[in-house]
Amino acid sequence: MPRTATDAETRIVSDDHAAIRLWLRMLATNRLIETRMRRLLQEHYSTTLPRFDLMAQLERMPGGLKMGELSRRMMVTGGNVTGITDMLEREGLVERVDDRDDRRAWRVKLTPAGRRAFTAMAREHERWIVEAFAALSAREMSVMAGCLGRLKTDVRSLEGLDA
């Protein structure tokens, strides 16, 4: 009985170019890990990956970020950021504060409750990521990170972007 395609990688055929095979393997692996992270965040914290990502950006910037900067960092539309921010604000996890450098704007910051919630989630998230990569040795991860870094730099240059 033929195997049913379950992810991008299962569509690979033996005469596909090596770059296509690698790209599909990266895509399938990324999707598996991301799906697992989404499920675990929902099960353990009743939250979503975009909410976690927004809080992670704010955790790195205690002074807060403008909505446009959040949108750029998360690589999503301003509307998506506004919707997530509105929900997190209603839950008391983030707050909007005046931007002291631009009186027309405001910044989004984690509240103390948001910082505590994010710290707990981040600790678990890190453990889940480490668990997902447990099959690889430290050396293998280092080599893969180096190769992917070079690839990222090259693709960015093909697009005319800064490295």
| pLDDT tens-digit readout, 41-91 | 999 999 999 999 999 999 999 999 998 899 999 988 888 899 999 999 999
For the record, the structure tokens of 13 come out as 């055929």
Q: Find out whether 49 and 121 touch, Cβ atoms under 8 Å.
A: no
Q: What is the pTM assigned to this prediction? A: 0.82
Residue 146 inside a domain? The answer is no
- End-to-end Cα distance, the chain: 47
How many whole angstroms separate alpha carbon 86 and alpha carbon 100?
Answer: 21
Q: What average pLDDT does the segment 18-35 reach? A: 92
Q: Per-residue pLDDT tens for 83-113? A: 999 999 999 999 999 888 777 888 999 999 9
Output the domain CATH number for residue 40.
1.10.10.10
Residue 150 inside a domain? The answer is no
Q: How far is CA 52 from CA 4, 46, 158, in A?
A: 33, 11, 31
For the record, the structure tokens of 24 come out as 């599909």
